[in-house]
Amino acid sequence: MTVTPRAPIHSFGYASRSLRLCAAAAFLFVLGCSEDDPKGPPLAAPPPAELGIPIEVTTDPSKLAFLDPVVLESVSLNGNDLKVVLRYDGGCKTHSFAAVAGTAIMESYPPQISVWIRHDSGGDRCAASIGKEVHFDVTPAVDFMKSQTGTHDPFYLRILTPDVTEPSRVLIP
């Protein structure tokens, strides 16, 4: 009696099982990526963090002071979203930012209010140069100006950071 050796079933079986698992995973991935998924928000909706930190309008002079150094690289406005690109030293701890507007209105045309960009390094002593884009919601400043002037006329936000000698100005239409 002659026995004919067969190819090992285990190696083919494992390859076949792995191939089936990969195919099933790919199918589920494609199925999960359908655009008409009712569980999630549409892709165009920004997450809440991107809506911006509200500008605080205050008469408290202690809040109108700078904390830690920060450099303003650029500023732009899109609707009520004020985008500020900042640079600071750090890299070891979490840094936080705030925008605080004073209640003094500069007599000019259009009028102006000052906004201080406050940076709290959390005691970070690291020296890596970090760039960060921060978004602020200008709605509180718009509401303040409307309450003070009785109109919705254009005005400037004067953006102040510790390094500036001439503040950046953003026109709020």
Backbone φ/ψ region at 43: left (φ over 0), alpha (ψ -120 to 50), beta: alpha
pLDDT at 116: 95
pLDDT in tens, 82-124: 999 999 999 999 999 999 999 999 999 999 999 999 999 999 9
Q: Is residue 43 assigned to a domain?
A: no
- The set of long-range contacts for 3-8, using a CB threshold of 8 Å and a minimum separation of 24, is none
**Following CA atoms 97, 165, 137, 63 in sequence, which dihedral angle do they give, to the nearest 10 degrees?**
60
Q: Is residue 165 assigned to a domain?
A: yes
* Domains of the chain: total: 1
Range of the domain at 122: 52-172
Q: Is residue 159 assigned to a domain?
A: yes
Q: Is residue 39 assigned to a domain?
A: no
Is the pTM here over 0.85, yes or no?
no
Q: Is residue 79 assigned to a domain?
A: yes
Tokens of 172: 């709020």
CATH number, domain of 100, equals: 2.60.40.3220
pLDDT tens for the chain, 173 residues: list them: 554 555 444 444 444 554 454 454 444 334 343 344 333 333 333 444 456 899 999 999 888 888 899 999 999 999 999 999 999 999 999 999 999 999 999 999 999 999 999 999 999 999 999 999 999 999 999 999 999 999 889 999 999 998 778 899 999 99
Q: Is residue 127 assigned to a domain?
A: yes
Q: Is residue 82 assigned to a domain?
A: yes
Q: Is residue 116 assigned to a domain?
A: yes
